[in-house]
């Protein structure tokens, strides 16, 4: 099950820092393409199954949040897991430093970080990521101001892909 950091529409959860954590996820989930299928569940008890049995991320699902920092986090996934490490939806000020999935098998992930309607994002990917096709998948016209801080040059993989609904394609700034 994913870790969840979530507020509700109009009431963001704010100022959350999680650091120096190693997570092990023994179950694999189904890749969820349509984030709108995840219910809000405003009256449900706040726990990790309140949005259903399947969530779109293997590590962290963050929604309706502001000023979130994940630092020095590694996630070991079950064999065959394909979901992104992180899915952020309706998030402002997100900082990811050395946070991601560790390689445990030959799984190739389609993306590591999936961002929809987020702004003011800073990502410093860790050295230990598994194979992936795209580092960052961007969706939603509310997405802007993504900064990527690279520790090493990556030529083998795409840094960013955009969904068809994105009009502005210059959302990413890469710092060597």
pLDDT in tens, 141-163: 889 999 999 887 777 788 999 99
Q: Does pTM top 0.85 for this prediction?
A: yes
Instruction: Please tell me the distance from the alpha carbon of residue 132 to that of residue 125, in angstroms, as a whole number.
Output: 13
The string over 8-25, giving b where at least 16 C-beta atoms fall within 10 Å of a residue's C-beta and e elsewhere, is eeeebbeeeebeeeebeb
The larger pLDDT score, comparing residue 169 to residue 115, is at 115
Non-local (6+) Cβ contacts of 175 within 8 A are 147, 148, 149, 150
Q: What is the pLDDT of residue 52?
A: 67
């Amino acid at each position: 099950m994913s870790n969840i950091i979530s507020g509700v529409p109009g009431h963001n959860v704010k100022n959350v820092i999680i650091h120096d954590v190693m997570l092990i996820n023994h179950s694999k989930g189904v890749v969820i393409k349509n984030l709108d299928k995840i219910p809000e569940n405003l009256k449900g008890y706040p726990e990790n199954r309140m949005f259903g049995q399947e969530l779109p991320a293997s590590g962290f699902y963050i929604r309706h949040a502001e000023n979130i920092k994940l630092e020095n986090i590694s996630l070991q996934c079950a064999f065959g897991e394909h979901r992104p490490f992180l899915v952020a939806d309706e998030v402002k000020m997100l900082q990811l430093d050395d946070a991601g999935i560790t390689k445990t098998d030959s799984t190739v992930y389609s993306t590591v970080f999936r961002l929809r309607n987020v702004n003011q994002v800073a990502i410093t990917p860790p050295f230990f990521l598994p194979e992936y096709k795209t580092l960052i998948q961007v969706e939603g016209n509310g997405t802007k101001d993504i900064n990527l801080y690279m520790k090493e040059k990556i030529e083998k993989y795409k840094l960013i892909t955009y969904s068809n609904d994105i009009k502005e394609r210059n959302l990413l700034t890469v710092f060597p």
